[in-house]
């Protein structure tokens, strides 16, 4: 919570809001004192009015100081995540209540003339009404003004043949492999990304003349609108990825993976984007003993998968003849990219085989559809470039039938390529996910053929570890969850994830370390 206070910057906009709140609090206190005076006024005592004024002047400064500190800590002026959430009114109510409780305690403890208790209570009620009312008015006024501006100055459709692709979350695991492909094909590429892991994942294209970078949170509507101008195709790769990250904070997961996706898609449609490509996951299939295809009924067993299938449903409702939605359900990804991860089962088992000479597998009989990160980026390129009639409002599983393997098979492959490692089968696991996927549609419709096998991906990881390209696979930079718990994480990461329960994150990660590899906490895409 105190992070909001550290991030407070007194820009003109912030100063205006601080002054408005201070005037509101001072006026509320004055109104409460006046009301109390009128109720108890004794016309025969001329000094009564002077006494009330003295009480007001002695206490108003303390009230203003306490309210400013509480409001700042609550994120009123730094736009903290809780303050920006759908529970904003509750946050405001809690902050106002806390400020007045602290004020009442302070005047009781300090050598001041205490204001009447009923006046303090009434002042708090008035402040709460003004704080909630003013913020609600600003919210609805802004929405109405944006709607009016949209009608008066509609964004014209893109008439140029030059195709501009917006990649949201393009500095991540898949995106760092997609950007160079788009640039090599001559596209103008705009990247909207918070760059939580820095610019190193895209260092090889950072200064490309056709790449424009907007470093921002994709929940910021103004930044999304800015990034969307003149765009022909949107590739949405952003979001919280994997079961462990999503399970930490359900509200944050829904806000980022579902609510933000809907907002981005609505803006895209309103700004005449023609194609919207959304990164989903085969995890939506959950648990089944049969081979599943795009027509199979989803059976999500995790919050991550549920957030993805809910996003798919929202996008299906927005699709139209002029707004093509393409859903890509990625298999379980492995391999190296600009932003390599070792919190994924193939990469993690391989690293443990090379470094620790132990390959411990839990739930070895569980099936997963594996796909190399390079092939995943290739599939996105096919979706970008395919004729409209092939991809218009379609769902594609991304992977290959040959990539369907059990976790035990992956362990055996790692053992085959690292013979001096010990393979340990630790029996069944509580993870309910178990699914094989049919990938015929993407092969037949888009001509997708994977260029990697799981065995080749394992060799790639082995080479990176033995050559020193990857020095320590346990380093925070290679793990989404672990990186976000480190004290060395950047300020932008801390701001984005503020409010997460650090102890819960560490607890989940420590369990992963103890089990060597636990399918239930391995991110999927």
For residues 152 and 112, which has the higher predicted lDDT (pLDDT)? 112
Strands 275-281 and 233-236: parallel
End-to-end CA distance of the chain: 31
For residues 45 and 193, which has the higher predicted lDDT (pLDDT)? 193
Mean pLDDT, range 22-43, rounded to an integer: 86
Written as six digits, the tokens of 428 are 């069944």
Q: Which of 158-172, 190-204, 357-371, 395-409 shows the highest mean pLDDT?
A: 395-409
Written as six digits, the tokens of 296 are 């199979």
Tell me the sheet residues that pair with 371: 333
Q: Contact, 123 vs 24, CB < 8 A?
A: no
Q: Contact, 344 vs 334, CB < 8 A?
A: yes
Q: Which of 50-54, 137-141, 273-277, 478-482 shows the highest mean pLDDT?
A: 273-277
pLDDT over 80 at 510, yes or no: no
Q: What is the pTM of this model?
A: 0.65
**Could you tell me the domains of the chain?**
3-152 (no CATH), 164-521 (3.40.50.720)
Written as six digits, the tokens of 383 are 């979706």
The predicted structure's pLDDT at residue 91: 82
Written as six digits, the tokens of 226 are 């800015």
Q: Residue 207, SS3? A: coil
Q: What's the rounded Cα separation, in Å, for the pair 377 and 249?
A: 28
The predicted structure's pLDDT at residue 246: 54
pLDDT confidence of 410, banded at 50, 70, 90? very high
- List the single range of 121-135, 208-222, 489-503 with lowest mean pLDDT: 489-503
Q: What's the rounded Cα separation, in Å, for the pair 59 and 392?
A: 66
pLDDT over 60 at 283, yes or no: yes
pLDDT over 70 at 520, yes or no: no
pLDDT tens string 55-109: 899 899 999 999 999 888 887 876 554 555 555 778 888 889 999 999 988 988 8
Written as six digits, the tokens of 20 are 């408005």
Q: Which residues have CB under 8 Å from 351's CB, separation 6+?
A: 342, 461, 465, 470, 473
Q: Residue 274, SS3? A: coil
Burial class (CB in 10 A: 0-12, 13-18, 19+), 170: buried
Could you give the C-alpha distances from 523 to 145, 229, 441, 463, 502, in angstroms and in order?
41, 33, 25, 23, 19
Mean pLDDT, range 411-434, rounded to an integer: 83
CA nearest 411: which of 349, 475, 469?
A: 349
The tally of CA atoms less than 13 A away on the side-chain side of residue 58 is: 14
What is the rounded average pLDDT for all residues in the chain? 82
Q: Contact, 179 vs 211, CB < 8 A?
A: yes
- List the single range of 37-46, 257-266, 290-299 with lowest mean pLDDT: 37-46
Q: What's the rounded Cα separation, in Å, for the pair 95 and 139?
A: 19
pLDDT over 80 at 202, yes or no: yes
Q: Contact, 445 vs 396, CB < 8 A?
A: yes
Mean pLDDT, range 154-176, rounded to an integer: 75
pLDDT confidence of 524, banded at 50, 70, 90? very low
Mean pLDDT, range 487-498, rounded to an integer: 46
Query: How many residues belong to the chain?
Result: 525
């Amino acid at each position: 919570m105190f992070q909001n206070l550290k991030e407070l910057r007194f820009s003109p906009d912030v100063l205006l809001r601080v002054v408005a709140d201070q005037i509101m609090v001072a006026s509320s206190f004055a109104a409460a004192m006046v009301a109390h005076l009128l109720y108890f006024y004794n016309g025969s005592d001329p000094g009564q009015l002077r006494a009330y004024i003295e009480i007001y002047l002695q206490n108003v400064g303390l009230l203003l100081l306490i309210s400013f500190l509480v409001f700042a800590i609550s994120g009123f002026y730094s736009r903290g995540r809780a303050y920006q959430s759908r529970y904003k009114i509750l946050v405001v109510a809690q902050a106002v209540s806390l400020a007045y409780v602290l004020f009442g305690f302070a005047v009781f403890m300090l050598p001041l003339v205490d204001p009447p208790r009923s006046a303090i209570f009434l002042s708090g009620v008035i402040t709460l009404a003004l704080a909630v009312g003013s913020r609600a008015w600003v919210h609805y006024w802004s929405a109405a003004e944006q709607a009016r501006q949209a009608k008066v100055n509609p964004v014209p459709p893109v008439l140029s043949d030059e195709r501009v692709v917006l990649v949201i979350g393009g500095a991540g695991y898949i995106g760092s492999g997609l950007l160079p492909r788009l640039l090599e094909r001559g596209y103008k590429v705009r990247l909207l990304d918070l760059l939580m892991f820095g610019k190193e994942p895209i260092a090889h294209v950072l200064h490309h003349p056709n790449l424009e970078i907007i470093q921002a949170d994709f929940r910021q509507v103004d930044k999304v609108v800015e990034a969307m101008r003149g765009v022909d195709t949107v590739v949405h790769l952003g979001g919280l990825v994997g079961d462990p990250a999503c399970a930490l904070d359900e509200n944050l997961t829904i806000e980022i993976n579902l609510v933000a996706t809907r907002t981005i898609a609505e803006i895209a449609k309103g700004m005449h984007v023609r194609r919207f490509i959304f990164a989903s996951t085969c995890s939506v299939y959950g648990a089944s003993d049969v081979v599943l295809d795009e027509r199979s009924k989803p059976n999500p067993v995790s919050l991550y998968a549920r957030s993805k299938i809910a996003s798919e449903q929202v996008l299906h409702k927005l699709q139209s003849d002029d707004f093509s939605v393409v859903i890509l359900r990625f298999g379980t990804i492995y391999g190296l990219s600009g932003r390599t991860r070792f919190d994924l089962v193939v990469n993690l088992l391989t690293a443990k085989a090379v470094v620790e000479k132990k390959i411990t597998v839990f739930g070895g009989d569980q099936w997963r559809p594996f796909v190399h990160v390079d092939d995943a980026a290739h599939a996105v390129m096919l979706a970008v470039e395919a004729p409209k009639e092939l991809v218009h409002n379609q769902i594609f599983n991304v992977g290959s039938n040959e990539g369907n393997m059990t976790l035990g098979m992956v362990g055996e492959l790692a053992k085959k390529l690292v013979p001096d490692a010990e393979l340990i089968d630790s029996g069944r696991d509580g993870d309910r996910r178990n699914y094989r996927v049919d990938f015929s549609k993407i092969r037949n419709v888009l001509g997708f053929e994977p260029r990697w096998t799981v065995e080749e991906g394992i060799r790639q990881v082995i080479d990176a570890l033995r050559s020193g390209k990857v020095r320590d696979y346990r380093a925070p930079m290679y793990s989404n969850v672990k990186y976000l718990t480190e004290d060395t994480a950047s300020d932008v990461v801390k701001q984005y994830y503020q409010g997460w329960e650090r102890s819960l994150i560490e607890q989940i990660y420590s369990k992963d370390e103890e089990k060597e590899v636990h399918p239930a906490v391995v991110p999927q895409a």
